[in-house]
């Protein structure tokens, strides 16, 4: 990958998903310019920002991954190594995108963002910003900036981006942390073959006993015994091995015919080696058992309940499932195997309260499976929900409840059930864009959208604009919406000729945008602006953004010359789709 010239700014992508239509919103009369209420929610999320100037970076830098970049840098940043995934120019950024931003501002923003369950929109915007190659913020060492990237990738389980990061950056501090995460992730899935492929990211400069041990096991797994034995001998000489590992590898190599029955769970590799070398392996996970070991036990099908009446073990499995350590579906499989007499099943709705909580849940679940009446199924599902709530185990049940309610034919049940059923159905997180339906009677839904999709050039789009505007102007009842303003202001930013009577600058005064965000352009802090936008967007997807927020965001992006991001927002949020 060759990073291009530097003095351009970020484009990242933001793929906004939207199938419901953002209609013509709160509107402003294009001729009377009636004032509307200012947007409040978005403004309240913004904070004061220190926008102190810093010296411009000047000179030439060579990235640690052998990518040559021509740029202006100062002597103090000349030897700074930079790490990332994305070419900054591809996102309309440059290597200096953070250089004028104080480290404390970035740390504070990152801390707030870490507490938000980001939408797909916000996540993609964040990753395309934080993972672009760039110099660190003022007052932040390159290793701290690198660790912000690494920690985010691991905490959010971004396997695809972790692999890209490892491919794009050959040598960097904490590289072994990312490799071990990939290795453990595949062991936890009981996919050793794939885990062994990830060890290829390990290079001779990384000396880590955990990864070197796993590499030796992979040689055994691939039946390269001679090479495995040689590597084990080297590891012993370097005093990086231990008796437990030596014992397990010697047994797997056939050097010894016996192995220790001790189960070690201090790390996933030792636990895995225990499970594959001990005959009739059995392990009773405890509340203190690490989550990643629970994941492996699930994937390898090593958790069994030999006695369905073992309430203590079943209770521990319920708690584990509620904490996302044990497979939730297996709880219901266990419930279905608990034995009840026919009379109890027939009278389940009348007598379940006389049973202990586990048996009550199992009884109602079995009764639900036997029911063939939709209204009765709904009653049983919500009775079961109450039983899970009673023991604070609702996390086990919410998804299952949603999936079962989706199967109910609402046309066959009483209207009184419809609302409660719909409220408990989880909507899809992914929101797919439909095909654009152009409407030249409404400016922001017109075929002008094609310009932002690069389907027509500016000359053709200018003619289309004047023609569409002429038609709209004849409609004295037409109101100029916030989305219309976002479109017009973007066209003006790109050099389009705007009719004089369309005084969009006057209309824009109805919206109060914080000066501290507008100043980010003057101090070359476009990357920090995107962090602020991530905070503003937060949990919302594109189709949920209100018209004023769409204008608010596109105005800031225009001010900071982030046209590629702006275009993605416009083509996602403005048009009608079907």
pTM assigned to the model: 0.72
pLDDT for 80 equals 85
DSSP state of 264: -
| Cα distance between residue 199 and residue 213, in whole Å | 11
Residue 42 CA to its chain's centroid (Å)? 22
Q: d(Cα 405, Cα 235) in Å, to the nearest integer?
A: 57
Which class for 116: exposed (0-12), middle (13-18), buried (19 or more C-beta within 10 A)? middle
**Measured distance CA(296)–CA(537) in Å, rounded:** 36
Give the pLDDT of residue 39. 42
Q: What angle do CA 134, 8, 454 make, to 5 degrees?
A: 125
As given in the structure block, the two tokens for residue 236 are 């012993």
Mean pLDDT of 433-453: 88
Q: 138-173 burial, b if ≥16 CB within 10 A, otherwise e? A: bebebeebbebbbebbbeeebeebbbbbbebbeebe
Among 119, 39, 122, CA closest to 486: 39
- Tell me which of 58 and 403 has the higher pLDDT: 403
Contact status, residue 395 vs residue 322, Cβ threshold 8 Å: yes
pLDDT of residue 522 exceeding 80, the answer is yes
- In this predicted structure, what is the pLDDT of residue 540? 87
The per-residue pLDDT for 515 is 87
Which of 28-32, 433-437, 455-459, 518-522 is the least confident region? 28-32
Using left for φ > 0, alpha for ψ between -120 and 50, and beta otherwise, residue 174 falls in left
For the cut 80, the answer to whether the pLDDT of residue 209 exceeds it is: yes
In this predicted structure, the answer to whether residue 1 has a pLDDT above a threshold of 90 is no
Closest to 384 (Cα-Cα) out of 331, 326, 427? 331
Is 185 in contact with 159 (CB distance < 8 Å)?
A: yes
pLDDT in tens, 176-208: 999 999 999 999 999 999 999 998 888 877 889
pLDDT in tens, 28-69: 444 433 333 434 444 344 444 343 333 333 333 444 444 444
Q: Is the pLDDT of residue 436 over 90?
A: no
User: What is the chain's mean pLDDT, rounded?
Assistant: 84
* Ranges of H-type helices in 443-496: 449-452, 458-473, 482-493
Per-residue pLDDT tens over the stretch 66-88: 444 444 555 555 678 999 999 99
Give dist(CA 354, CA 98) in Å, integer: 64
Quote the pLDDT of residue 324: 85
């Amino acid at each position: 990958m060759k990073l291009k010239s530097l003095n351009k700014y970020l484009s990242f992508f933001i793929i906004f998903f939207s199938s419901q239509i953002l209609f013509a919103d709160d509107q402003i009369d294009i001729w009377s310019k009636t004032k509307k209420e200012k947007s409040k929610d978005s403004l309240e999320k913004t904070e004061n920002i220190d926008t102190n100037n810093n010296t411009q970076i000047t000179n030439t830098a060579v990235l640690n991954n052998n990518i040559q970049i021509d740029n202006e840098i100062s002597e103090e940043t000349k030897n700074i190594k930079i790490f990332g995934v994305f070419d900054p120019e591809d996102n309309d950024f440059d290597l200096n995108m953070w250089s004028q931003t104080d480290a404390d501002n970035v740390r504070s923003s990152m801390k707030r963002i870490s507490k938000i369950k980001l939408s797909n929109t916000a996540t993609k915007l964040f990753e395309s910003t934080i993972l672009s190659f760039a110099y660190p913020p003022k007052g932040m060492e390159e290793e701290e900036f690198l660790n912000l990237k690494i920690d985010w990738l691991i905490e959010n389980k971004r396997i695809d981006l972790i692999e890209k990061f490892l491919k794009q950056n050959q040598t960097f501090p904490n590289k072994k942390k990312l490799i071990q995460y990939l290795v453990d992730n595949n062991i936890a899935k009981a996919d050793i073959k794939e885990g062994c492929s990830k060890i290829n990211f390990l290079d001779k400069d990384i000396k880590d006993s955990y990864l070197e041990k796993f590499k030796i096991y992979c040689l055994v797994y691939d039946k390269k015994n001679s090479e495995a034995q040689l590597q084990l001998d080297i590891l012993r000489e370097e005093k990086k091995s231990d008796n437990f590992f030596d014992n397990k590898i010697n047994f797997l190599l056939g050097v010894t015919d016996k192995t220790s029955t001790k189960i070690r769970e201090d790390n996933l590799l030792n636990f895995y080696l225990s499970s594959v070398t001990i005959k009739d392996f059995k392990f009773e996970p405890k509340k203190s058992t690490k989550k990643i070991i629970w994941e492996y036990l699930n994937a390898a099908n090593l958790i069994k309940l030999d006695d369905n009446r073992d309430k203590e073990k079943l209770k521990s499995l319920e708690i584990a499932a509620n904490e996302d350590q044990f497979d939730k579906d297996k709880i219901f499989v266990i419930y279905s195997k608990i034995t009840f007499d026919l009379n109890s099943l027939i009278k389940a709705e009348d007598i379940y309260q006389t049973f202990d909580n586990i048996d009550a849940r199992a009884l109602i679940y079995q009764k639900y499976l036997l029911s063939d009446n939709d209204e009765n199924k709904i009653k049983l599902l919500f009775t079961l929900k109450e039983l899970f709530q009673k023991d604070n185990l609702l996390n086990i049940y919410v998804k299952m409840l949603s999936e079962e309610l989706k199967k109910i034919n609402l046309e066959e049940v009483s209207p009184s059930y419809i609302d409660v059923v719909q409220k408990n159905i989880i909507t899809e997180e992914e929101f797919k864009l439909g095909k654009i339906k152009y409407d030249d009677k409404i400016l922001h839904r017109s075929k002008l959208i094609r310009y932002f999709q690069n389907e027509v050039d500016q000359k053709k789009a200018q003619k289309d604009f004047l023609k569409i505007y002429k038609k709209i102007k004849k409609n004295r009842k037409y109101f100029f919406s916030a989305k219309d303003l976002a479109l017009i202001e973007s066209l003006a930013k790109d050099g389009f000729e705007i009719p004089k009577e369309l005084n969009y600058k006057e209309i824009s005064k109805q919206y109060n945008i914080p000066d501290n965000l507008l100043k980010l352009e003057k101090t070359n802090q476009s990357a920090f602006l995107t962090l602020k936008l991530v905070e503003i967007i937060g949990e919302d997807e594109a189709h949920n953004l209100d018209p004023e927020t769409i204008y608010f965001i596109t105005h800031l992006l225009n001010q900071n010359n982030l046209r590629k991001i702006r275009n993605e927002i416009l083509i996602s949020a403005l048009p009608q789709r079907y």
